[in-house]
Structures are given as C-alpha cells and as structure tokens.
C-alpha cells in the first residue's frame, strides 16, 4: 500500500487515536482500502504522524474490535474481510462516530443547528 491518507489535527478536541480510528474506518468502509490491504506498522504510522506508538496502537485495537482489521504478530495489520450480507452498524459504533464528528464540528465553532444541517446534507435527499 502506498501513502495512507491519514492526518491528525493536534489542536482538535478529538483525541488523536479517535481521529486515526475514524479516518481508517472510513477508508475501509468506503472501499478505499480493500480486504487484505496491509496497514502501516504501529511504529511506522506513529513516526509518520509524529505520535506515540501507543496512540496508534489504541486506534488499531479499536478497529480490530470493530472487526475492520485483523492483526497477526509478525504479519502486521490488514483490512479484514467484509461480512456477507447487509452490514448493520452497532449502536456503539454509531455513537462513537457521532461523538467524533460532533467533537470535531464543535472544535470548528459549529453550533447544534450547523451540526444537524451538516448531517442532513450528508444524508442527502434519500434519508432512509
């Protein structure tokens, strides 16, 4: 895999591990990272982002708990196979994504109405 499009805003109220988790999760769910794609090692991504390895390790652990990646000692971390059938997000995963988004939006100065408008816009005309 070439350059990974992950960026961390150290001035954000959202913790760096949550930013990494959300960005990698989005790349996986949208198919920009495919099944079997290898992720950088914890140390490499930490070095690239200027973070402590424990920060990246926490993000990877949470992605693994969400079954988006699988990690094997000596073989690294890879994008996991997508489950067969329709994907139903867990309430806890949605809550985490919502917290990450709202924290980032609030850090930008958005009020509740602006946050809700952004979500409505993102959902588009077919909100089912």
Q: Give residue-wise pLDDT tens across range 36-49.
A: 999 999 999 999 99
- What pLDDT shows up at residue 1? 44
Report pLDDT digits (tens) over 52-64: 999 999 999 999 9
How far is Cα 117 from Cα 86, in angstroms, rounded to an integer? Answer: 27
pLDDT at 87: 59
Q: What is the pLDDT of residues 2-26, one digit of tens each?
A: 567 899 988 887 899 988 998 898 8
- pTM for this prediction: 0.70
Instruction: Grade residue 28 by pLDDT with cuts at 50, 70 and 90.
Output: confident
Which tens digits make up the pLDDT trace of 82-115?
Answer: 766 665 656 666 777 787 788 888 888 899 999 9
Q: Is the pLDDT of residue 73 over 90?
A: no
């Amino acid at each position: 895999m070439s350059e990974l499009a992950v960026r961390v805003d150290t001035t954000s109220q959202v913790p760096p591990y949550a930013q990494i988790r959300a960005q990698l999760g989005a790349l996986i769910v949208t198919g920009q990272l495919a099944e079997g794609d290898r992720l950088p090692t914890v140390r490499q991504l930490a070095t690239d982002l200027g973070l402590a390895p424990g920060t990246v390790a926490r993000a990877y652990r949470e992605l693994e708990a969400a079954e988006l990646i699988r990690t094997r000692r000596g073989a690294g971390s890879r994008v996991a196979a997508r489950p067969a059938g329709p994907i139903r997000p867990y309430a806890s995963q949605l809550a985490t994504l919502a917290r990450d988004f709202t924290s980032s939006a609030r850090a930008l100065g958005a009020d509740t109405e602006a946050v809700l408008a952004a979500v409505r816009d993102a959902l588009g005309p077919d909100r089912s």
